[in-house]
Amino acid sequence: MKLLISIGSYLLKDIFWRWREQPGNVLTRFVVAYALVLPSLGLLGAFALMAENLEMRLTRNGIDMLFITEHIGSTSDDFVAHQLHPALAPLRAHGTMFQLLQLFGSVRTPNAGVTRAVAYPDASLPYLRGMVTPEVPVVFLSDTLPVGMPVRAEIDDYFFSAQVRRPTGMVSKIYQQDVVLVPEGMLPRQESRGFSRVTLFKADRLAALRGLEEAIKLMTEIDKQNVSVRSSLKLLGDLDRLKEKQVYWRFGLALTAGGVLALVLGTLAVLEYQQRAYVIALLRSFGIRRWMVYGMQLLENAFVVNVAAVASYLTLAYFQQVLYKSFGQRTGAGLSFESMFSEILVIFVCVNVGVVISTLPALHILKKDVGTILS
Amino acid sequence: MKTLSCEDLTFAYARKAPPVFEGQSFCFGQGINLLKGYSGCGKTTLLKIFAGYLKPQAGRILTPSGRLPTAPEYQRREMSFLFQQFNLLPLATVHRNLELAGMGRAEIKDKAGYWIEKLGLAPVAHHKAKNLSGGQQQRAAIARALIKDSQVLLLDEPTSGLDDLNTRLIVQALQEMIDRECICLVCTHDQRLEKLPHEVVDFNRFLPVEGHLLALA
């Protein structure tokens, strides 16, 4: 053990001495690794960020949901009938569905400014559980205001009070901003102007969603109805394509980085080994095994390259924060270490494989007899 | 009595190069064995083969312990080698060079002190090898070879280019080794070493006649 420490300390000292004597050598290795890892991480980070954003939007929108909006004018037959559009009736067999009436006109509140007014029919009450109760039928859905806080609201000089609730379930997927939920019939003047009837549909099976969306679009087109259907399926497709690209890029970039590193470091290692052949041979003449010398070379290269890779990551993280701050984003926004972990791991693995490959030519030199080097 | 020998030794530096040895056998006993001969006759090559630094194409090397000369254990503990160019670790101090060659054995520290003192290296013991003069480097290299107290001592031109005072110090050190029952092979042209009790192996007799004459010319 003492011997190993003794030899190890000499070899370490030798490494630092060489770094001091020929800083260009170590700097080249550092810069090459840094210059390769930084753009690779940057590109992969951009992909990860795009995927993260898409995933966030998907989660917010509800991946397995359809939002069907019909515009009902005050003169329409539907306005009187208040019935579900016949084209939507078959949806009941494939999932959960309820409706809300989005009224024209804005509600004003002193705390949260102008918001939207939405009326719910009695049939929708079971789906609003947790937000609306018989005791509190009028609620102000907000993500920010304290729950239970009373809010004074006004619409067209009609004043009423609402209690703050958090949007939950399917409702939280459709409204990203604050909204006032009132029972149908509470605001007759606004309702009489017409409304947008929003059908919220949650499919039992995600696989059936695309077919249902197509069917509804087709039927409403045939009926020449003014209906818009919104879903996250397009986003989902985008996400799949992005993830596919991400995999190709991840491996392509990581392999390129590893390959170039192996070439550059390998060439440097051979040159350096030829310069150091004497010291290495001398150490071997004392009975030091080849693997120790090789191990030290490997350790040195791995250290330089990994420090460079860490420096690249820190640079990227720093510039990302600077960029986010300049756009007024909060600190910690953007890519975190956790969200980029798989990218970082792949790059680090490939770069370290490159390090191992780069030291292979040195093995050939280590095979030479000590006696042919030392005269 | 322990011996260091080789049987039917064949060695060439390259596949197409003329062989340095071809089916030759040598046997060396305890004490100092002076290997004499013209440059290029294979003295240093034989030492390197006995040290395990060169691998012969054919033949058998028999070390006193029976280990192969390439075995790290043999190179670490049983054999010491002095290179013609001293070959000290340039970044290590004299003391550290000695310790490294001693391979971390506990008794080495005391021995390092002894040989440093004996060979007049005390003032430079903590100087880096690359900063020493030629004579100091040679004495340090000798100390490094002697410190291991090994059974086999292989010295390649230990006094070449040294003044009389430095040579005397080295002769004194070698004199001490004779009493320790080690097998000592010394390649030398230096007449001053003949004062030591020794066996002489004339390597010139292994040279081809033409080569021998050419060398004489």
pLDDT digits (tens, 9 = 90+) for B30-64: 888 888 888 778 888 999 999 998 989 999 999 99
Give me the residue from A14, A286, A372 closest to B103, CB to CB: A286
Strand pairing report for B31-36 and B183-187: parallel
Size of interface A-B (CB pairs under 8 A): 67
- Among the partner residues B44, B53, B96, nearest to A285 by beta-carbon distance: B53
Write down the pTM of the prediction.
0.59
Residue B95's identity, in one-letter code, is: H
Tell me the domains of chain B and their CATH numbers: 4-213 (3.40.50.300)
Determine, for residues A375 and B89 on separate chains, whether the beta-carbon distance falls below 8 Å.
Answer: no
Mutation target to probe the B interface, by most B beta carbons within 10 A, among A369, A372, A373 is: A369
Q: Quick one: average pLDDT of A66-92?
A: 73
Residue A282 sits at the chain B interface (C-beta within 8 Å): yes
* d(C-alpha A33, C-alpha B22), whole Å: 52
**A17–B91 C-beta distance less than 8 A:** yes
In chain A, the percentage of residues whose pLDDT exceeds 70 is: 91
| CB spacing of B104 vs A369 below 8 angstroms | no
User: For residue A114, what pLDDT band results from cuts at 50, 70 and 90?
Assistant: confident
Separation CA B74–CA B51 (nearest Å):
9
pLDDT at B211 over 60: no
- Is any Cβ of chain A less than 8 angstroms from the Cβ of B40? no
The answer to whether the CB atoms of B54 and A2 lie below 8 A apart is no
CB B6 within 8 A of CB B26: yes
Q: Cβ neighbours of residue A172 under 8 Å, at least 6 residues apart?
A: A166
Which residues of A, range 189-248, sit inside 8 Å of B by Cβ? Answer: none
Confidence grade of residue A332 (pLDDT, cut at 50, 70, 90): low
Whether the per-residue pLDDT at A189 is higher than 60: the answer is: yes
- B49 interaction partners in chain A (CB closer than 8 Å): 371
Alpha-carbon gap, residue A76 to A74, rounded angstroms: 6
Residue A365 scores a pLDDT above 80: no
Residues of B in contact with A2 (CB under 8 A): 104
The whole-number pLDDT of residue A248 equals 81
Are B55 and A369 inside 8 Å of each other by CB? yes
pLDDT at A229: 82
Residues from chain B that touch A14, judged by Cβ atoms under 8 A, are: 91
| Nearest Cα residue in chain A from B83 | A375
For A265-316, the DSSP string reads HHHHHHHHHHHHHHHHHHHHHTT--HHHHHHHHHHHHHHHHHHHHHHHHHHH
Query: How confident is the model over A258-287, as a mean pLDDT?
Result: 76
DSSP codes of every residue in A237-248: HHHHHHHHHHHH
Mean pLDDT of A273-289: 75
pLDDT over 70 at A331, yes or no: no
Of B49, B75, B92, the CB nearest to A287: B75
**Which pLDDT band holds residue A81 (cuts at 50, 70, 90)?**
low
At A268, the amino acid letter reads L
Lowest mean pLDDT among A93-107, A270-284, B109-123: A270-284
Mutate to test the interface with B, among A285, A293, A367 (most CBs of B within 10 A): A285
Does the CB of B87 have a partner CB in chain A at under 8 Å?
yes
Residue A265 has a pLDDT of 76
Task: Report the pLDDT value the prediction gives residue A83, as an integer from 0 to 100.
Answer: 65
Terminal alpha carbon distance of chain B: 41
The rounded mean pLDDT for chain B is: 83
Residues with Cβ within 8 Å of residue A77, at least 6 apart in sequence: none
Strand ranges of the sheet holding B21-28, from the earlier edge strand across to the other edge: B21-28, B4-11, B58-62
CA of A5 to nearest chain B CA: how many angstroms apart? 9
B215 pLDDT band, cuts 50/70/90, is low
Cα separation, A154 vs A197, in Å, equals 22
Measured CA to CA in angstroms, residue B153 lies from A221, A233, B47, B60, B181 at distances of 101, 83, 10, 19, 11
Name the most confidently modeled range: A224-233, A251-260, A345-354. A345-354
Chain B residues inside the 8 Å CB shell of A286: 75-76, 100-101, 103
CB neighbours of residue A354 within 10 Å: 26
Which of B11, B79, B86, B87 to probe the A interface (max A CBs under 10 A)?
B87
Cα distance from B28 to chain A (closest Cα, Å)?
Answer: 21
What would the mean pLDDT of A13-28 be, rounded to a whole number?
A: 80
For residues B90-113, average pLDDT: 76
- Residue A110, pLDDT > 80, answer yes
- B53-77 mean pLDDT: 89
pLDDT at residue number B123: 92
Average pLDDT of span B193-207: 73
In this complex, is the C-beta atom of B89 within 8 Å of any C-beta atom belonging to chain A? yes
A10 contacts B87? CB cut-off 8 A: no
Q: What are phi and psi of A99, to 5 degrees?
A: -125, 155
Instruction: Decide if B83 and A374 are in contact by the 8 Å CB cutoff.
Output: yes
Residues of B in contact with A372 (CB under 8 A): 13, 54
Residues of A in contact with B56 (CB under 8 A): none
State the average pLDDT over residues B87-91. Answer: 80
Of the partner residues A14, A278, A374, the one whose CB lies closest to the CB of residue B91: A14
Q: What is the ipTM of this complex?
A: 0.70
Q: Is A56 helix (H, G, I), strand (E, B) or coil?
A: helix
B140 phi and psi, to 5 degrees? -65, -40
Q: Does A12 contact chain B (CB < 8 Å)?
A: no
| Residue A13 contacts B where some CB pair is shorter than 8 Å | yes
The two structure tokens encoding residue A177 = 């901003």
* Confidence (pLDDT) at A133: 86
Residue B112 contacts residue B180 (beta carbons within 8 Å): no
